[in-house]
Amino acid sequence: MRKMKLLVLPLLLALIAGCGRGGGGSSQPQHAPTISNLQYTPQSATLNQDGGLINVTGTLDFNDIDGNLSTLTINIYDSNGTPLAPPTTSQIQGASGVTSGTIGIVVAVNTTVAGSYSFGIHVTDSIGLQSNVIMRTFIVS
């Protein structure tokens, strides 16, 4: 009888250890999205152009194996790398179940102060996994 208990315990431990590793049960997607090919215009402006605020528009491509893309986040920094405002976050419409495509973006840039500004863009999926960040520069002269 003692031998049987020793065999059952390791078998039971092996079964418990195997739980939660994609063994047929439902599991959350675990792949972070990626972004690439950011195109935008204009890339520069003159001081006080468009009344002091110009909209920079563009597109970027995304890949999301899990098809659960959720939000787009844009950060704007001054030439020293200091954030100029809290990040702008918006919901991505129509991306549920879509694994690749193009996203339109709009970044409002203050043209009342001359300088070099950077903006960083990333996307996040519905379980909080964040993509790579793409950084670009905008010049106000």
List the chain domain ranges: 30-140
**Residue 40 reports pLDDT greater than 60:** yes
Q: What angle do CA 50, 120, 74 make, to 5 degrees?
A: 65
Architecture, CATH, for domain 30-140 = Sandwich (2.60)
Confidence (pLDDT) at 75: 93
Confidence label for 83 from pLDDT (cuts 50, 70 and 90) = very high
As a whole number, the mean pLDDT across the chain is 83
**42-66 per-position pLDDT tens digit:** 999 999 999 999 999 999 999 999 9
pLDDT for residue 135 is more than 90: yes
Strands 100-110 and 115-125, how do they pair? unpaired
Residue 7 has pLDDT above 90, yes or no: no
Given a cut of 50, is residue 22 above it in pLDDT? no
Return the pLDDT at 11: 35
- Look at residue 107 in the predicted model and tell me its pLDDT: 85
CB burial string 85-112: b at 16+ within 10 A, e below: eeebeeebeebeeeeeeebebebebbbe
